[in-house]
Amino acid sequence: MYKMILVDDSERVRNGLKMSMDWSKHQIEIVGEAEDGVEAMELIMDQKPDLIISDVLMPHMNGLELTEKALCIVPHAKVILLSGYDNFPYVQTAIRNGAFDYLLKPSTIEELFAIIEKAKQSLEQERSQVKDVVQLRQQLLHSIPVLKERYLRYLLSGQMSLLDIRNRCDYLDLSIGSHLFACLVVEIDDEDAVAQSARIRDKQLLLFAFRNIVEELLREQLYAEIVENYDNQLIVIVSRAEPMESKYYLELLQAIARKIKYYIQTYYKVSVSIGIGGIYDEPEWIPESSKQAVEAVQYRLYSGKESIVYIGDVTYQASVEHTVYPYDLEKRLCLALKIGDVHGAVGYARQFLRAIVDDFTPTPDHLRKICLQLVYALLRQLIEWDLSDGNIMEITALDEQIKKRKTIEQLEMWLLHYVNDLAHSIEKKMQQRHVSIVQKAISFMESQYAQDISLQDVADVVYLTPNYFANLFKERTNETVLNFLADIRINKAKQLLKQSDLKIFDISSQVGYTDAKYFGQVFRKRVGVTPLEYRKMQPN
pLDDT digits (tens, 9 = 90+) for 307-324: 999 999 986 554 545 677
CA torsion 250-251-252-257 (nearest 10°) is 90
- How far apart (Å, rounded) are the C-alpha atoms in residues 185 and 233? 6
CA torsion 429-435-437-443 (nearest 10°) is -150
From 431, 465, 499, give the residue that closes a domain: 431
* Residue 531 domain-assigned (yes or no): yes
- Please tell me whether residue 3 adopts helix, strand or coil conformation: strand
* Residue 439 domain-assigned (yes or no): no
Between 399 and 251, the more confident residue is 251
Domain count, the chain: 4
Average pLDDT of span 401-422: 91
SS (H, E, C) 154-186: HHHCCCCCHHHHHHHHHHCCCCCCCEEEEEEEE
Between 284 and 394, the more confident residue is 284
What are the φ/ψ torsions at residue 286 (nearest 5 degrees)?
A: -55, -45
What are the φ/ψ torsions at residue 289 (nearest 5 degrees)?
A: -65, -35
Average pLDDT of span 435-439: 88
Read off the amino acid at residue 98: G
Residue-averaged pLDDT of the chain: 86
* Residue 136 domain-assigned (yes or no): no
In this prediction, residue 185 carries a pLDDT of 97
Of 158-172, 258-272, 461-475, the poorest mean pLDDT is in 158-172
Taking each helix axis from N to C terminus, what angle separates 327-338 and 364-384, rounded to the nearest 10 degrees? 40
Within 454-512, residue ranges assigned H as helices are: 455-461, 466-477, 481-499, 504-510
Let me know whether 182 and 299 are in one domain: yes
In this prediction, residue 458 carries a pLDDT of 92
Share of the chain above pLDDT 90, in %: 43
- Please tell me whether residue 343 adopts helix, strand or coil conformation: helix
In this prediction, residue 58 carries a pLDDT of 86
Please determine, for residue 396, whether its predicted confidence score (pLDDT) is greater than 80: no
Please determine, for residue 148, whether its predicted confidence score (pLDDT) is greater than 90: no
Average pLDDT of span 426-437: 82
Confidence band, pLDDT 50/70/90 cuts, at residue 420: very high
* CATH (domain of 454): 1.10.10.60
* Residue 367 domain-assigned (yes or no): yes
In this prediction, residue 199 carries a pLDDT of 63
Domain hosting 391: range is: 327-431
Q: What is the dihedral sign for C-alpha 345, 346, 351, 356?
A: positive
Let me know whether 387 and 352 are in one domain: yes
Please determine, for residue 55, whether its predicted confidence score (pLDDT) is greater than 70: yes
In this prediction, residue 138 carries a pLDDT of 65
DSSP state of 511: T
Please determine, for residue 476, whether its predicted confidence score (pLDDT) is greater than 80: yes
Q: Name the strand (E) or helix (H) holding 337.
A: helix 327-338
From 271, 289, 313, give the residue that closes a domain: 313
Residue 212 CA: distances (Å) to CA of 83, 144, 191, 208: 65, 18, 20, 6
In this prediction, residue 2 carries a pLDDT of 92
* Residue 151 domain-assigned (yes or no): no
* Residue 146 domain-assigned (yes or no): no
Let me know whether 301 and 172 are in one domain: yes
* Residue 134 domain-assigned (yes or no): no
Let me know whether 380 and 512 are in one domain: no
Let me know whether 297 and 175 are in one domain: yes
| Residue-wise pLDDT tens digits, 265-302 | 998 889 999 999 999 998 889 999 999 999 999 999 99
Confidence band, pLDDT 50/70/90 cuts, at residue 390: low
- How far apart (Å, rounded) are the C-alpha atoms in residues 348 and 420? 11
Let me know whether 366 and 486 are in one domain: no
| Residue-wise pLDDT tens digits, 198-234 | 566 677 888 888 999 999 998 878 988 899 887 889 9
Beta strands in 86-151 (DSSP E): 101-104
From 128, 150, 183, give the residue that closes a domain: 128
In this prediction, residue 137 carries a pLDDT of 61
| Residue-wise pLDDT tens digits, 165-200 | 777 776 666 777 788 999 999 999 988 777 666 566
Q: What is the DSSP track for 31-73?
A: EEEESSHHHHHHHHHHH--SEEEEESS-SSS-HHHHHHHHHHH
In this prediction, residue 153 carries a pLDDT of 82
Let me know whether 304 and 333 are in one domain: no
Q: Name the strand (E) or helix (H) holding 240.
A: strand 234-240
Let me know whether 279 and 331 are in one domain: no
Residue 506 CA: distances (Å) to CA of 187, 493, 495, 534: 84, 10, 13, 16
Confidence band, pLDDT 50/70/90 cuts, at residue 142: low
Checking phi first, is residue 74 left (phi over 0); if not, alpha (psi -120 to 50) or beta? beta
* CATH (domain of 59): 3.40.50.2300
In this prediction, residue 162 carries a pLDDT of 64
Please determine, for residue 480, whether its predicted confidence score (pLDDT) is greater than 90: yes
Let me know whether 396 and 334 are in one domain: yes
Read off the amino acid at residue 494: K
Q: Which residues pair with 6 in a beta bridge?
A: 33, 53
Of 85-89, 191-195, 411-415, 533-537, the poorest mean pLDDT is in 85-89
In this prediction, residue 348 carries a pLDDT of 94
Of 158-167, 175-184, 438-447, 528-537, the poorest mean pLDDT is in 158-167
The CA-to-CA distance between both ends of the chain, in Å, stands at: 123
SS3 content of the chain, % helix, strand, coil (to 5): 65, 10, 25
Let me know whether 416 and 478 are in one domain: no
Are residues 346 and 419 in contact, defined by beta-carbon separation less than 8 angstroms? yes
Let me know whether 331 and 415 are in one domain: yes
Strands 223-228 and 234-240: antiparallel
* CATH (domain of 225): 3.30.70.270
* Residue 280 domain-assigned (yes or no): yes
Read off the amino acid at residue 349: A
Let me know whether 194 and 63 are in one domain: no
Average pLDDT of span 498-524: 91
Share of the chain above pLDDT 70, in %: 90
Checking phi first, is residue 389 left (phi over 0); if not, alpha (psi -120 to 50) or beta? left
DSSP state of 419: H
DSSP state of 396: H
